[in-house]
Amino acid sequence: MGKYMYRAGIDLGGTNIKAGIVDENNQILKQASVPTRVERPYGEIIKDMAKLVLCLLDELSISKEELVGVGIGSPGTVDAETGYIAYSNNFGWENVPLVPEMKKYLDCPIRVSNDANCAALGEVKAGAAKETANAVLLTLGTGIGGGVVIDGKIFEGAHAGGAELGHTSLIMGGEPCTCGRKGCVEAYASATALIRDAKRAAGKNPQSKMNALCGGNLENMNGKIPFDAAWDGDDIAKQVVDNYITYLGEAITNFVNIFRPDVVLLSGGVCNQKEHLTDPLNAYIKNTCFAKEKAMIPPVCCAILGNSAGIIGAANLI
């Protein structure tokens, strides 16, 4: 291959390590993944990450010299400065020297950032926020991840732990959060919170169609059922969905008032609801963001790159 700028992006997940070689147009030329098996010593996981990159280079006939750098999106509290993972509860990691360990295998610049940060940067470079420079991304899953891109760069803060948007307070003294605090955005607007609220409402209201959609067992509740039942005219489900959108709308309003991004992106399974989710959110924040229509109200959209966002974003750390 010719003299191009090839970067590697690695998305380190709890289930799989995904890596891709990304060209100067932010296209993934080739990607591959291997199981993470988080129970292993971190040295083995990091060795596999490096091997995956070397393997991809080999398959693409790109020499190591043509690789200008490797970016890594990692879960947990990331110190971008030192390349250490300060803390990851899912991996059981504390002070893991991710970048120094990778340098044993790859002699090029290596950078790391939080996985939600990388997803946000990926969407700005090649996805739903392309052509913009300022974006806020919320990943609505088991928890809520947050990524903030300012002037085309990830906002890291001065030390590890920046941009945990899910752990900002929404309801003082409210529902317990995984972080030990009460009333965080994550405790109201994550998929886990939606499922909890749907279960509670269905449990109290046997006539709700959500019960039938669960096959009579509330343990089968998922984030789709309240939306399905609401669209089928179920008032109880409609209330659950309306509350969820209000929580999310309030949280988004807070982030718009702080960052005033060009766009607010949402990702995660709840985004399968597409405009059923984003239309009411866009309507909601028009009336709640500071200065209302006198200021610029950013659109709320669903992210479009899916799993590729992490790889492309990580590559753009270089």
User: Which C-beta is closer to Zn ion: that of 132 or that of 168?
Assistant: 168
The 3-state secondary structure of the chain, one letter per residue: CCCCCEEEEEEECCCEEEEEEECCCCCEEEEEEEECCCCCCHHHHHHHHHHHHHHHHHHCCCCHHHEEEEEEEECCEEECCCCEEEEECCCCEEEECHHHHHCCCCCCCEEEEEHHHHHHHHHHHHCCCCCCCCEEEEEECCCEEEEEEECCEECCCCCCCCCCHHHCECCCCCCECCCCCECECHHHHCHHHHHHHHHHHHHHCCCCHHHHHCCCCHHHCCCCHHHHHHHCCCHHHHHHHHHHHHHHHHHHHHHHHHHCCCEEEEECHHHHHCHHHHHHHHHHHHCCCCCHHHCCCCCEEECCCCCHHHHHHHHCCC
Shortest distance, CB of residue 194 to Zn ion, whole angstroms? Answer: 16
Shortest distance, CB of residue 292 to Zn ion, whole angstroms? Answer: 29
User: Which C-beta is closer to Zn ion: that of 18 or that of 167?
Assistant: 167
User: Which string of x and - marks every residue 127-166 that binds Zn ion (by CB under 5 A)?
Assistant: ----------------------------------------
Shortest distance, CB of residue 264 to Zn ion, whole angstroms? Answer: 20
User: Which C-beta is closer to Zn ion: that of 82 or that of 168?
Assistant: 168
Shortest distance, CB of residue 275 to Zn ion, whole angstroms? Answer: 29
User: Which C-beta is closer to Zn ion: that of 114 or that of 211?
Assistant: 114
Residues 167-186 that bind Zn ion (CB under 5 A): 167, 177, 179, 181, 184
- What is the total count of residues that contact Zn ion (CB under 5 A)? 5
User: Which C-beta is closer to Zn ion: that of 83 or that of 146?
Assistant: 146
Can you give the binding site for Zn ion, defined by CB under 5 A? 167, 177, 179, 181, 184
